[in-house]
Amino acid sequence: MALFDYLLLGVALLLFLSVISSKASTQLGVPTLVLFLVIGMLAGSDGPGGIYFDNPWLAQSLGSVALIFILFSGGLDTKWKEIKPILWKGAVLSTLGVILTALIVGCAAYYALDFSIHEALLLAAIISSTDAAAVFSILRSRQISLKGNLRPLLELESGSNDPMAIFLTTGLISLILNPETSPAALVPMFAQQMALGAVFGFLSGRGMAHLINRIRLDYQGLYPILTISLVIITYTATSILGGNGFLAVYLAGLSLSNHSFIHKRSLMHYHDSLAWLMQIAMFLTLGLLVFPKQLIPVASIGLFICFVLMFMARPISVLICLLPFRDMSIEERIMVSWVGLRGSVPIILATFPLIYGIDEANMIFNVVFFVVLTSVLVQGSTIPIVARRLGMEVPDEPLQQTLSEKMPEKEILSSLVRLEVLPECSAVGSQIADLNLPDDTWIAVLTRNGRPLRPSGSTILRAGDTLVAEASGQSLEKLRSLLGNKLSTNASDQLDL
């Protein structure tokens, strides 16, 4: 028991230090993931912690599980209205852009290193995807934002390009292990994985919303457990049937976020916290797995690959992918190319060659780790400077506040209205979650038979119910229409407070 207690204490201390280090990232201007990795490296065998960890399979398994929930949370936080105008741009960047990046870096690695063409392309495929968490932790810490649709474009690309990198990595490993296999055999495999992943993802998201609204659990604390199980089922079922499970969970989160469901706000907060926990656990584990002494011999190689990636592969692939879209200025294209940080996914993918026993696996892992650190430190620290120089910076919007924080009390009270649920309206017999109310509409009190009730998403409306709601403008008119009230622009239903 004493050994277990010490182990538990060590885990708690590492988590505590990781959380505290997130405060330091604001002052240092680097993503928190770098600090998580550094803490893991300091706790490892080459650091003062002295913890010996050399289990790529465990690290890869933990990383894959973590990636499932990180991608789902990323999809859950993505708003369809924001990504709809840039959907095709993001789709091209997350597919063709990843392929072009891998080809350019792979050719450079083949001619500069003593690698076979397949090993060089494998190294390139591993570092071909970008990391959204790294990008936006810097943007938030420096309190800057980007003009136009740059932010949702980068969010969509970063959240959706991981499945392509994963497919390229696993496909190239298959070619290395089975030299007789033709590269052309990967094309139908790719089409199958992406098609099934997309279909199962969207269907799973819709199914999750329907099930959450209908199951009516007795305890609110069981809903997060329900969603965790559904996410895992989505990933595993898609993978077993031959689809891309990572794409499926991302699209499931995206599909779910654009439906109204019970306890939506609390579930989104829960999955955001879970994603942070997964990131911390993943980065600490990967930090423990690397041996810092082994990074020094590959420093020159890592710098070369990083130079090719940042100044050749990424800009060329972005310019080619965005060439058909005439509505983007050259400054916007340059900004997109520079905001291409590498993060957790490449390090996780770098454990795949170790597990499968690829000849240059150790070299690939150390080079990838070096490239990720260099990319985050160099590109991450200069994003604010590049944004200002290109004229892409606008004041960052403040974080969303609660109703009581963003409005004075008098304004809150003046925006409250009292509406009655009329017998002939379509809302009778429906749950509040099924009404698809706008995000700026809040039902505060429901009065039924003279008794005030606290409504929730699972509350079923009855004829004669009276609602006290916070709504205005078009949102108020939509609420009126749903409840059968006459559309009006006067203040006859204003709450007299």
- pLDDT for res 36: 82
Fold of 403-483: Alpha-Beta Plaits (3.30.70)
Q: Is the pTM of this model over 0.75?
A: yes
Query: DSSP readout, 419-486?
Result: EE--TTSTTTT-BGGGG---TT-EEEEEEETTEEE---TTPBP-TT-EEEEE--HHHHHHHHHHHTPP
Mapping DSSP to helix (H, G, I), strand (E, B) and coil, where does residue 45 land? Answer: coil
Confidence grade of residue 400 (pLDDT, cut at 50, 70, 90):
very low
Query: Between 407 and 450, whose confidence is greater?
Result: 450
Is residue 269 predicted with pLDDT exceeding 80? yes
Percent of the chain with pLDDT over 90: 26
Higher-confidence residue: 29 or 257? 257
CB 345 within 8 A of CB 283: no
In whole angstroms, give the CA distance from residue 121 to residue 144.
Answer: 36
pLDDT greater at residue 141 or residue 5: 5
Residue that wins the pLDDT comparison between 320 and 115: 320
Q: Which of 132-146, 229-243, 380-394 has the highest mean pLDDT?
A: 229-243
Give the model's confidence band at 49: pLDDT under 50 very low, under 70 low, under 90 confident, else very high. confident
Side chain identity, residue 55? N
More confidently predicted of 245 and 263 = 245
pLDDT at 330: 92
* Residue 308 pLDDT class (50, 70, 90 cuts): very high
What pLDDT band is residue 207 in, cutting at 50, 70 and 90? very high
Distance in angstroms (rounded) separating the CA atoms of residues 343 and 376: 7
**Residue 406 confidence (pLDDT) above 50:** no
> Is the model's pLDDT at 482 over the cut of 70?
yes
Mean model confidence pLDDT for the chain: 83
The Cα–Cα gap between 275 and 156 comes to: 17
Instruction: For residue range 60-95, list pLDDT tens digits in order.
Output: 888 889 889 988 988 888 878 878 889 899 999 999
Measured over the CA atoms of residue 125, residue 123, residue 279 and residue 134, the dihedral's sign is negative
* CA separation for the pair 340, 315 (Å, rounded): 9
CB distance 78 to 155 below 8 Å: yes
Distance CA 319, CA 337 (A): 8
- pLDDT reading at 228 higher than 90: yes
What token pair was written down for 226?
């329900």
Q: What is the pLDDT of residue 491?
A: 44
Q: How does residue 211 score in pLDDT terms, banded at 50, 70 and 90?
A: very high
pLDDT of residue 74: 83
pLDDT band for position 35 (cuts 50, 70, 90): confident
Q: Assign a CATH topology to domain 28-395.
A: Na+/H+ antiporter like fold (1.20.1530)
Comparing 363 with 443, the larger pLDDT belongs to 363
pLDDT of residue 404: 44
Strands of the sheet with 451-453, listed across from one edge = 416-420, 466-470, 442-448, 451-453
Query: What pLDDT shows up at residue 161?
Result: 87
Residue 309 · residue 371 · CB < 8 Å: yes
Q: What is the pLDDT of residue 413?
A: 45
Residue, of 115 and 456, whose pLDDT is higher: 115
In contact, 264 and 458? CB cutoff 8 Å? no
Domain ranges of the chain: 28-395, 403-483
Please give the helix or strand (H or E) that residue 58 lies within, else none: helix 56-76
Q: How far apart are CA 34 and CA 122, in angstroms?
A: 24
Supply φ then ψ for residue 92, to 5 degrees. Answer: -65, -45
Instruction: Please check whether residue 382 is in contact with residue 428, taking contact to mean a CB–CB distance below 8 angstroms.
Output: no
Cβ-count burial 145-182 (b if 16+ within 10 Å, e if not): bbbebbbbbbbbbbbbbbbbbbbbbbbbbebbeeeeee
Dihedral (CA of 77, 83, 89, 92) sign: positive
Position 320 pLDDT exceeds 70:
yes
pLDDT surpassing 60 at residue 239? yes
